[in-house]
Structure 1
């Protein structure tokens, strides 16, 4: 399985916790994610599912990707991608897909970096940062007894734009 992990684009500020889930992408954030989505399309990457956190900024990010790839029917909201979501539930959800599937998860920091670290090291020993709009690819993801896989790449939106 190829597991792609995408952090949402730049979002507006919130001034209290109640507004956090409703924060929308900024115009710069939407622009960056459109570039990322076009890069994904140029690499001919297709996803079995585009799974997203229900928070507005992540959902908007996933929607731009789905629309650009003409895969809106593959867009699903997974609550476990919300901040504080249960990582074990996420692993179980991903494990339901075929070993030849390609899946993209759209969510938030620090959970996504923690997720990548857990998969590639089997614990929490990896230290990495997934920038806003950044994306990672984990190849040969599996979930036999515990999640495992190889980090193939970790890119910023600028790096993806420079490779087009």
Structure 2
């Protein structure tokens, strides 16, 4: 399975009156999300399914990306909320292992931890920037991975 790991785009600052989960994307974040979708369409790497954290900023990133890529909308998954554990994520991803390409949209430091776990490295060796995309070739059931690409937002094009 090809796993596309996407961090949510630029959101409102911390301290939102509705709490962290209610922080929405700012204009720059919406534009970053559109670029993510156009990029996936342009390189012909649209996922079969997009899974997203239930937090507003992640959902908006996934929804906007899917719309720009001209693909079905995302599926909200509670396990992708802040505080995701890599081993728990793998247990949840098993249900999607029949798909050729799966995208997940989530948060830091959870995504970095998941990438490090799948690649067998540690020690803060991975940093996932907002609106970046990391592609891994994952081999269930052992869940070892090989890095295919990591693209920061500045390289997504227009």
TM superposition score normalised by structure 2 = 0.91
Q: Which residue of 2 aligns with 1:21?
A: 21
2:153 aligns with one of 146, 152, 157: 157
TM superposition shift of 1:96: 2.4
| Cα displacement (A) at 1:114 | 0.7
**Structure 2: gaps (5+ residues):** none
Structure 2 residue aligned with 1:124, among 109, 122, 125?
Answer: 122
Aligned residues: 158
Q: Structure 1 residue 99: deviation in Å?
A: 5.2
SS in 2 for 1:138: strand
3-state SS in 1 of match to 2:156: helix
**Alpha carbons 1:91, 1:143 under 8 Å: kept:** no
Distance 1:43 1:18, change over 3 A: same
Among 120, 137, 142, the residue aligned to 2:139: 142
CA distance in 2, matches of 1:85, 1:135: 18
Deviation at 1:93, TM superposition (A): 2.1
Q: What root-mean-square deviation, in Å, do the aligned CA atoms of Structure 1 and Structure 2 show?
A: 1.9
User: TM-score with structure 1 length normalisation?
Assistant: 0.88
Alignment correspondent of 2:114: 115
